[in-house]
Structure 1
Amino acid sequence: MTTSIEDTGELPFKPREAPPVGALERRVLDVLWKTRQAPTTRGMVQELTAPGGQKPAYTTVATVLGHLVDKALAERELIGGVWSYRATLTGCQFSAAHMVRTLGETNDRRRCLTRFAGMLDPQDAAFLKSLL
């Protein structure tokens, strides 16, 4: 199983319902987005272990991968008796969905959008303007 995801594909949830993720879930997603082959839990433990750093517990990583599957952010496939995982969306899709979700949580959308646009660097602001 390879991890080729179309950035234009549909999301596995409505953008306003993008599930929140914790710090370790985000690190696992980052690995899933970067890897070409779908890692197993053991492979994910290796990817998350920095050289000379602390190795995360196998059970912790397995639990996090299970949570990402439950949140529809990852899917798993049984290959040779071992689960392999891949992301169900790209990092860009994830970030965009969370921007929409965050905007939906404000009580003043116009002010929030104005502040957001004001915080962009000139190149990003010009690009956003060209999209609209």
Structure 2
Amino acid sequence: MNRATLIILTTILTNCISFIFSLIIAPIFNDTATGYQTGDSIKLIIIVIIITPIAETILFFSLIRVILQKIDSSGKYFIILSSILFGISHNYSIIYIIDTFITGAIWAYVYLISEKRLENPTVNLIIIHILCNCIMTSLSLI
């Protein structure tokens, strides 16, 4: 699987999970928190679609991987810690935390795959994160 396919499939998978949580699971619990806010479109694009994915990828994935790399060569603690912190940082609701925890675990795994393939894992995740935020933000504005 090449880099573009990895990025596209990961984006599709994580958006499908988010759709399941937001369209099926959240209504069961009467949970309307999505984390996406409407308002000034330019600010929304700059913050949610550009700045946030870069900052979150560096903070929750790249930095944690660098810190844990010497004691966690397999990456299992990296996946666990990154996904927990990523999920908790999206504390709009318990459903949203679970959704972003699962997304974080997938993204951490993709980070390790990219690292093993000698690709730039940070760039791959930033692209995936931007694509996911772009799709979800666009849908929330409809």
Decide: shared fold, TM above 0.5: no
TM-score by length of 2: 0.32
Higher strand share: 1
- In terms of fraction of residues, the more helix-rich structure is 2
Whichever of the two has the greater Rg, that structure is 1
